[in-house]
Structure 1
Amino acid sequence: MNNTPAQDGTGFSYSRTDFEELVDFALEHARKLGATDAGAEASEGCGLSVSVRKGEMETVERNRDKSLGITVYVGSQRGNASTSDFSRPAIERTVQAAYDIARFTAQDPVAGLPEPEDIAPPEAHPDLDLFHPWAITSEQAAELALRCERAAFDTDARITNSEGAGVSAQQSHFFSAHTHGFRGGYASSRHSISVAPIAGKGEEMQRDAWYSSMRSAPELASPEVVGRYAAERALARLRSRKISTRECPVLFESPLAAGLLGGYVQATSGGALYRKSTFLVDSLGKQVFADHIDVLEDPFVRRGKGSAPFDEEGVRTKPRKVVDGGRVEGYFLSSYSARKLGMKTTGNAGGSHNLTLASRRTQPGDDLPEMLRKLGTGLFVIELMGQGINYVTGDYSRGASGFWVENGEIAYPVQEITIAGNLKDMLMGIEAVGADVYNYGAKTVGSILINRMKVAGS
């Protein structure tokens, strides 16, 4: 087996063929031990992360990791084990450990591999253009990070400090197979540049941050653009004040709006549903958003951050409408959670794939200034703190910072406030979604205007 770094520019130490041999060896050993079913995955990741602060190099980190995981079924009993040692004896010991765990684990009648008819056949694995290795040296990465931070400092003399800037280049690949006939794997990459400048001095200091993240390095925003925008965000927060407690409309900036969509996904995911630990239990076919809201899922977006030809179980993925006119059209289910609910898997083992939340009311001109005009008088939120969401009840309470808006214009920055409501009311209370679309990980959404929330201040 090839244990030296590949010479094709990927930086990987193992080839796809190497991984297939490792996985097949693990599955064959599981069969010899008496497993009724088994699945295995071999993976490898490597990358470079560089950080600078105030014009000086801070850290250079190179990461390289590998793993082989094996899941063994003995009837309806399941065991799992993993190793970072790819030698044959180590793999045999790992498979034995998984088998032993399975033999002494309680019976679970819904445990098992996905049904054969749900598995993505090899010919149905589209190339989604997810792998773009970045052959960057630590010196080159440091220069990009320094340019980014320098641009922030050069924006205004009131940028007095920095929490640093960073550049990251990461890539990985895997191969997975199981005894119900699935075989597949692919390589992917994710690169980023970020900075966190500080404006003002003493008690008046304000920080903000910005970043750019892409599969392909040439698609990243320039270091200067990232640095200047982060600085402008920090400067806009100077002279922040508290406001009195009130109820008012709230506009969530698009990156935060993606978090609201993430909350919905968590509330309609299999584990929460079968445990009945969600405020959206039994919501299929019911109205949970305002009637102008649609949510689409598309796993096949080229270079998409949430793209995948199959899910973590090898189940085929497919584009679908998750929410149609505010009504729930589908959950996010793995094979296990689907069986617990008496339903079919939706190909979401491992999470959602490229979700887009849109409003049928949105017009091309609904940029941020227009969304502020729609807000009228209320709160524009650009930062949230804490994890104050109770998914059982839907109660929502988060620390927040942003801007008070009067008559559609930003009046002044605000801080040290709390916004509160209930996610059920918030989703139904969406009045508008902006055309200022932002991609945050696997979620794409514009700013979101909610009709009314409680704002606790001084």
Structure 2
Amino acid sequence: MTQLAHPQDRSPQELDRLAELAEDVIRRARAAGASQAEVAANIDVGLSVNVRLGEVETVEHTRDRGFGLTVYFGQRKGSASTADLNPDSIQATLDQACAIARYTEEDPAAGLADASRMAHAFPELDLWHPWDVDTPEAIALGIEIEAAGRAHAGITNSDGASVQMGQSLSVYANSHGFVGRERGTRHSLSVALIAGTDDGMQRDYWYDTQRSAKHFASAQSLGDMAAERTLARLNAQRLSTRQCPVLFAPEVARGLIGHLIAAISGGSLYRRASFLLDHAGKQVMPSWMTIVERPHLRGGHGSAAFDAEGVTTVDSSLIENGVLQRYVLGSYSARKLGLSSTGNAGGIHNLIVQPGHAGGAGDDFAGMLKRLGTGLLVTEVMGQGVSTVTGDYSRGASGFWVENGQIVYPVEEITIAANLRDMYANIVAVGNDVDPRSHLLTGSILLERMTIAGE
């Protein structure tokens, strides 16, 4: 697999050019009467190749540019953006933002993040690993991955394999004098396979995503894993309606953590649209559970020295001994709530759910199955049946029925339901089988009980 940095990496010069443009536009905004201004500019480059049944389906090269400007006239805000960085387009964007700001209503919470919160240190986070893969190499790799999966007996068709290369340069600058430069790469491989025929067909997939292509799983192992997952779903059954323990596989478990973040994020809170409103300092998970944010992990999928407003990011606890320590806030939502920014404008940074249970350290996946005993292993969820307002959770699911810690048969066409408040409070264990392919880092999560709606 080719893994070479571009021989002439021009990203520093490109970042300097974006920074100079951003600073110039901020000066011009101030000259036009804006009391504050901020700019976010980016250049994204990518290659995406899709193959199916050994043939090329699509090849897409991308080079996208974005330039967004926000100006404040006192506490009146105007925003405009363009994908064209030529001077006339930039001037038109500036004129539009200023015009909008002059006619909007004042908002007491509007404005830049506090100047004292701007980042001053920019550690090397190991996020930049250009992959110098050309189109023929990407096609060959996609065909190799798909062929590895299709070679398994019982695989009858394919939904194709994908190879994607991506690199992003971005600059955020504001009238506090802050200029932050970021560059990052993200590459991915995936394959989806089909087993069985007619009404007995099943589909599943596997993928890998990395900052550096040299860390990819092998083409063979990706194809093997996709095939094994697909074949394991054959002859799936439905369950009768019941209540039982439920184990969420790691790649599904991070969705549970995503719902937690949504419920404690500023937008949900100041709109009073969260079941965890006014829960800071309260017990929301078992006393053995801890969740921490680590923004400066080298190579992390969510690593950043500053947030989308230039506020410095810091290590902090989100859940400690089961108690919610803080919310997830940018400066606007913080002001609406009478609080301070947590450095999370734009989202969370590398959230780590620490493995464990009431008796001690976390188990591997086999150990989590034993801890489940008899119940449902969920490997896929479908639908949007989650309410941040009430905490009600009801989603279609598939997976496996487990007895005495052993997988017995695949399960499909069921619905799992509970309330997130109860689900979080009754977590039995978190595994050490962490899925590293996300900025939400968790192992499998075992819940004491959910309602299974089936036949």
Into which bin does the TM-score normalised by the smaller protein fall? Answer: over 0.9
Residue of structure 2 aligned with 1:411, choices 408, 413, 418: 408
1:44 equivalent in structure 2: 43
SS of alignment partner, residue 149 of structure 2: helix
Q: How many residues align?
A: 450
The amino acid of 2:83's aligned partner reads S
Q: Note if contact 1:35-1:73 (Cα within 8 Å) is conserved in structure 2.
A: yes
1:305 equivalent in structure 2: 301
Residue of structure 2 aligned with 1:452, choices 446, 449, 454: 449
Q: Whole-Å Cα distance in 1 between the matches of residues 431 and 80 of structure 2?
A: 46
2:70 equivalent in structure 1: 71
- Residue 359 of structure 1 deviates from its aligned partner by 3.8
2:334 aligned with 1:372: no
2:322 equivalent in structure 1: 326
Q: Note if contact 2:293-2:350 (Cα within 8 Å) is conserved in structure 1.
A: yes
- Residue 235 of structure 1 deviates from its aligned partner by 0.6
- Residue 7 of structure 1 deviates from its aligned partner by 8.0
Deviation per residue, 1:25-47 (Å, 9 max, x gap): 21111111100110112210011
Structure 2, unaligned stretches of length 5 or more?
A: none
Q: Note if contact 1:258-1:440 (Cα within 8 Å) is conserved in structure 2.
A: no
Q: Note if contact 1:192-1:212 (Cα within 8 Å) is conserved in structure 2.
A: yes
Deviation per residue, 1:160-216 (Å, 9 max, x gap): 101000100000101221111211112100001000011111111111111000000
2:207 aligned with 1:211: yes
Q: Whole-Å Cα distance in 2 between the matches of residues 67 and 254 of structure 1?
A: 34
Q: Note if contact 2:209-2:437 (Cα within 8 Å) is conserved in structure 1.
A: no
Report the TM-score, using the length of structure 1 for normalisation. 0.96
Residue of structure 2 aligned with 1:139, choices 132, 136, 147: 136
SS of alignment partner, residue 60 of structure 2: strand
Q: Whole-Å Cα distance in 2 between the matches of residues 343 and 355 of structure 1?
A: 21
Cα-Cα RMSD: 1.5
SS of alignment partner, residue 124 of structure 2: coil
Q: Note if contact 2:149-2:193 (Cα within 8 Å) is conserved in structure 1.
A: yes
Report the TM-score, using the length of structure 2 for normalisation. 0.96
1:168 equivalent in structure 2: 164
1:294 equivalent in structure 2: 290
- Residue 92 of structure 1 deviates from its aligned partner by 1.4
Classify 1:142/1:9 alpha carbon distance in 2 versus 1 (closer, same or farther; 3 Å).
Answer: farther
2:98 aligned with 1:102: no
SS of alignment partner, residue 436 of structure 2: strand
2:267 equivalent in structure 1: 271
Q: Whole-Å Cα distance in 2 between the matches of residues 297 and 175 of structure 1?
A: 23
SS of alignment partner, residue 287 of structure 2: coil
Classify 1:427/1:445 alpha carbon distance in 2 versus 1 (closer, same or farther; 3 Å).
Answer: same
Q: Whole-Å Cα distance in 2 between the matches of residues 106 and 421 of structure 1?
A: 42
- Residue 9 of structure 1 deviates from its aligned partner by 3.9
Q: Map of 1:31-430 to 2, 5 A cutoff?
A: 31-121=30-120, 124-154=121-151, 156-361=152-357, 366-430=363-427
SS of alignment partner, residue 186 of structure 1: strand
Classify 1:13/1:47 alpha carbon distance in 2 versus 1 (closer, same or farther; 3 Å).
Answer: farther
Structure 1, unaligned stretches of length 5 or more?
A: 1-5
Classify 1:14/1:57 alpha carbon distance in 2 versus 1 (closer, same or farther; 3 Å).
Answer: farther
2:432 aligned with 1:435: yes
SS of alignment partner, residue 185 of structure 1: strand
The amino acid of 1:97's aligned partner reads Q
The amino acid of 2:333's aligned partner reads S
Q: Note if contact 2:208-2:437 (Cα within 8 Å) is conserved in structure 1.
A: no
Q: Whole-Å Cα distance in 2 between the matches of residues 232 and 119 of structure 1?
A: 49
Stretch deviating more after TM superposition (404-413 or 307-316): 404-413
SS of alignment partner, residue 157 of structure 2: strand
Q: Note if contact 1:45-1:173 (Cα within 8 Å) is conserved in structure 2.
A: yes
SS of alignment partner, residue 108 of structure 1: coil
Report the identity percentage: 49
1:3 equivalent in structure 2: none
Q: Whole-Å Cα distance in 1 between the matches of residues 431 and 162 of structure 2?
A: 30
